Copies of this chain bind each other. A is one copy, B any other.
Amino acid sequence: MDWSGWGDPARRRPLPESLQRLLEQALGMRAPSGTPVAREEVRLPSVALTAKVEGALAAVVGEAEVHTDVASRLAHAGGKSTPDLLRRRLVEQSAPDAVVRPGSHDEVVDLLRVCAEGSIAVVPFGGGTSVVGGVQPARDGHAAVVALDVGRLDRLVEADKTSMTARLEPGLRGPEAERLLGGRGLTLGHFPQSFEYATIGGFAATRSSGQASSGYGRFDEMVVGLRLATPRGTLELGRAPASAAGPDLRQLVLGSEGAFGVITEVTVRVHAVPEECVDEAWRFADFGSGVEAFRRLAQAGRLPTIVRLSDEAETFANLAMADDVGGGGAPEGGCLAILGFEGDAERVAASRGELAGLLEEYGGSPLGTELGARWREGRYSAPYLRDAVLDAGGLVETLETATSWSRLQTTYAAVRDALTRALADQGTPPLVLCHVSHVYPTGASLYFTVAAAQGADPISQWVQAKTAASDAIAECGATISHHHAVGLDHRDWMEAEIGELGIEVLRAVKNTLDPDGILNPGKLVPPA
């Protein structure tokens, strides 16, 4: 992963002509802001680890797995939000003092003990794809901060084809997990946009949700067992597919974002690799009728594997960029929907037939499978565009929420208005796009993409817009995140989410598992 942008530097491309034009003409984008500083120019604080602590870390993982070089530190300097990428473009940067790479659960437990004794903050680090400040190397009053990179914990420990479960280590990235499972005819079915870089441990720690969530479920629904290494020892959870043996503590670990411990193993439900995958495109007259069609599918228990509905603006932007970015293409006017069907050929055919009638009842018209295939091909590419937009002097970022069906339209309008107003007030009126991509019987997610010209201080420019959107989400009674998690960026909205008493519960759990407060300081749990 590129230290200063998204993904594989070889796959980075200049801004497509169409998007350049859109940003210039519609949004008033000015001159290019230039590319990031070269790695050699970056200035980092000196390494704050004492020789004693460094020795103690090395005693656990071996000297070769304690890294204090600039390249390692910068590769763990934060996540991949737009503010993160903007900070990567500055000369003065922050980074963890060291990166340690344990090779086993026991080494993780030992590392946490060493760090607790030495008052060293620990940031558990998987793919580093957080877009909410979830891996910010905050020292928070401790003597130093290390990134605990789980990359060496990358085994498929066991596949149980009778129970259709697999035990996976946390450092496995999406493609590698799928490759190992695929060798046994299995798939996890978890394909978030960060799939190519994000890890199993990160999926669990952040309650990730993939594009095929309607078919395979959210990651938190896939998890049947967990192992968590904490400064107080090990927590092993999950003895049955379902249980009434008290509160479900797995659901405390899922979403704990490295603040309670380091997930060192996850047992997940797996599926047979589908015989067939077909993605259909559909057109709806407007967002409202598409949403109603999706609600009907969800409440009738007839959701296909993938559902995705762009609003009018996203559909238009998609169309405008079709020639340049490949993944695009859309109907003129109205709203584009993608429906993906996976499974054995007979069931895929039956489901497609059954749904067609239903979608037509809501005014849907079929556009065939070619647009769907293009969507599938380009579905991990969007984050690359963001770097090119930044280079050109623009700003593009995403945010998301979920709410009940009855609150969906008001939340949609309120968030769009808040973003538009907050950026227009700064002289940079934005383009706000939205899609629904996770659908449930009782409600759905809303995923917003915002593009604007960069202002003089683009980080604070975006923070203002994001704050306005987050306030609107809270006021609508929606959740502050459907699948991006809390990190630093959503922490101040946790009181709206679970109340002061809920936060006290989180603090009590953290104090029990991490009494010295070394684990991922500042994330998830608001300070007392």
Contacts and interface: CB of A to CB of B under 8 A. Distances in A.
A424 interface: no
A162 interface: yes
Contacts of A444: 241
Interface stretch (A44-52, A71-79, A397-405): A397-405
Contacts of A401: 240
A481 interface: yes
Contact of A239 (B240, B253, B483, B497): B497
B246 A486 contact: yes
Given A164-B299, A269-B441, A247 B241 contact: no
Given A247-B254, A405-B162, A442-B163, A512 B502 contact: no
Contacts of A252: 247-248, 251-252, 505
A481 B441 contact: no
Contacts of A81: none
Interface string A159-188: 010111100000000000000000000000
Copy number in the complex reads: 2
A149 interface: no
Contacts of A477: 239
Contact of A246 (B208, B241, B269, B524): B524
Interface size class on chain A is 35 or more
A64 interface: no
A416 interface: no
Nearest to A511: B508
Contacts of A511: 508
A116 interface: no
Interface in A423-439: 438
A403 B239 CA distance: 7
A88 interface: no
A413 interface: no
B244 A207 contact: yes
A323 interface: no
A209 interface: yes
B513 A482 contact: no
A257 interface: yes
A299 B165 CA distance: 11
Contacts of A234: 499, 501
A220 interface: yes
A510 to B, nearest CB: 9
A395 interface: no
A256 interface: yes
B245 A479 contact: yes
Interface in A252-270: 252-257, 269
Interface in A498-524: 498-499, 501-502, 504-509, 511-513, 524
B162 A239 contact: no
A484 interface: yes
A432 to B, nearest CB: 20
Contacts of A208: 244
Interface in A419-462: 438, 440-445
B240 A404 contact: yes
A105 interface: no
B505 A513 contact: yes
A499 B235 contact: yes
B243 A207 contact: yes
A120 interface: no
A486 B481 CA distance: 33
Interface string A466-484: 0000000000011111111
B239 A246 contact: no
Given A241-B440, A442-B164, A247 B481 contact: no
Contact of A235 (B162, B403, B501): B501
A498 B246 contact: yes
7 contacts: A162-B404, A162-B405, A236-B499, A237-B498, A241-B441, A247-B251, A247-B256
Interface of A: 160, 162-165, 206-209, 218, 220, 224, 230, 232-237, 239-257, 269, 295, 299, 401-407, 438, 440-445, 477-486, 490, 493-494, 497-499, 501-502, 504-509, 511-513, 524-525
